[in-house]
Structure formats: C-alpha cells, structure tokens
Structure 1
Amino acid sequence: MTVTVVVGNPKPASRTLTAATLVAKGLRSDVAPEVIDLVSFGAGLLSWGDPDVAAAVRTVAGSQLVVFASPTFKATYTGLLKLFLEQFDGGTGLADVVAVPLMLGAGPTHALAPDLLLKPVLVELGATAALPGLYLSDRTFPEDGAIERYTTRWRPVAAALGSKAADHV
C-alpha cells in the first residue's frame, strides 16, 4: 500500500501539511505517507515537462491512497493545487487511486468545499473518491478531535478500497 499526501498550500511546512499527514496516518497507520509539498516546485508547476513535477505525478498516480489537501482560498482550493492536478490526464490520470479531499479554513462557511469543489476534479481525473471530503478548522484541528473521528470512521473503508485498487495495479 502506497500512501501519499499532496499539499497545495503556498506556505511551506504549513498547517495544511500537518493536517493532511495526520489524516493519512489515521487512515493507514501501517504505512508512512510520502509527502509532496507543492510549494517546493515553484515555477516548475507552470511548464510541462519539469522532471521534479513529473516524478511527483508518477508518485501520486502510483499510490493507492492520496490525501489532496488545500487551504480554502477565495472559497475554493488553491491555484497551486490546480496547477498540479492539470498535470494528470483526464479520466485516467488517477485511475486506481483512492482520493481523500481535505480542505482547511477559518470557519464553517465553506464546510462543503471539499465535496463540492475538490472531489469532482479528482473524480474527473479517474480517482475513486468514495470517502466524504473533510473540512477542518485551521485553528482547532490539532485538538478538536475531528481528524480522529473521521479516520476512525473511514479507516476500514479506505483499507478495503485500497486493497481493491492494489488488485488492479
């Protein structure tokens, strides 16, 4: 089982990265997640063929479980994450990947954003997004129990879906 965290926060080593890593570890505690902090690619995301970006795309496409995480910017996910997702072929780029959409924000106003805005893009790219998206308060997630409740509830589903995805690889 390969688990990857993709973080679209324009700040390196962000709270978004921390939250996404906790979600990945909570869903699959038996596997250390690969972490892709998109801000590290800089201008490489703006052109096709950057070797570091291409390697990250291969890592994500070859993963069974990927947490795609972004802070909420202008009521949606960041352009940084959008640039990365555009590197994948439509319909097949994320085939056999179980995707978990995760977004953080300052308040509950955009609580449906992971499911309404990020999940459809992941599905369009071929991912299985059977788990509900998760929206976290960027200030309280370390202690509010939301990650633990989510991962406890969805861990068996993620494991079952991940094993099915592994059967197809």
Structure 2
Amino acid sequence: MSMFRLPAWVIKMIDRIRRDFLWSDPDIEHPGCRLVAWKNICRSKEQGGWGILDLSSFNMALLGKWRWKLLSDSSWGGAKILRFNYGGPNWDLFRRTTSRVSFFWSGVDQCLPAFSGCVSVQVKDGANSLFWKDRWFNGRAPMNIWPESFLLSRSPNGTVREMPYLLASSPFASDP
C-alpha cells in the first residue's frame, strides 16, 4: 500500500471481506445484516466510529510520505533517483506532462496535490522552494493568491532564488 495506489476494485474487495467478517454469524459463508454503514465504522473513535482504517485514505497517506521523504531528507538514497526521473533540477514534484511515468509514480502523483495542500515550505536559500507552487507565503501558495499572474508567468516552476532574475529579464521589467 505504500508503494502503489490500490485500484478501487481491490479496496472494494478487501472492504467486503472485512465487512463480512465483522457482521458474520458463526457461519462465515452467510454474512448477517450490516447494522452500521461502513463509512461510519471507519471514523475515528473520537468521531463515534470504531477506528477501522479507511483503506483508500490510508493508501493515499502512505503514498504522500514519498513527498515527505524527499522534502525532509535530501540525502536519502532514493531522492536522487526520484528527482532525476520525475523532479527535474529542483524539487518540483507537481504533475508532469511526460509520457515516461511509472506505475509507482502515477500513484504518488495523484496524491501530491492533497499532500502539498497540507505542507508549508520554509524558504532558506530559495533553491528548493518553488515560487508559485509551494506554500511559503503566509502558509499559502502564490499561485492561489494571484492566479492571473501565475497564468501569465513564463516560469511557473521557477524557484524563489531564481525569481528576481526571471523578473529582471521579463518584458514587463523597466529599463534603467
């Protein structure tokens, strides 16, 4: 579950086995009446559920840990491989429009927007922080604050460090 995104039919089959086990009498071949909706059982105990894992959400959380690994430990052995194959020269791990995407990365790629929405970036030297896409400006991404400017940007994947140079070479920059 932490390496690949499970297809919906697999989650459905596993949940069916778990529901049947939970609601079966001694005769496991004939499950009894389901007394509570499965989504309610999968809630946390504090929310009135039984604390049973929602496999779809758990699978997405495990896949989101790949982004966390890349952000928190750049010396990790797999970071170089993943950055080379999918990340480019900086930490831009947002959706790419390349045809060369593995089954593993397509699953990770689907959970990145949700994961990135929960993580804010601390700008240090600006080399690893995307100017438009990372949440570094008061916990928000500039592309969400100024969407029109983001759409007009010639460098949507530029880092915070690169941005002054990109603005200076912009056609909107004033001549000294």
Fold in common (TM above 0.5) = no
More strand by share: 1
Q: Which has the higher contact order (CA 8 A, sep 6+)?
A: 1
Give 1 or 2 for the bigger CA radius of gyration.
Answer: 2
User: Normalising by the residue count of structure 1, what TM-score does the alignment of the two structures yield?
Assistant: 0.24
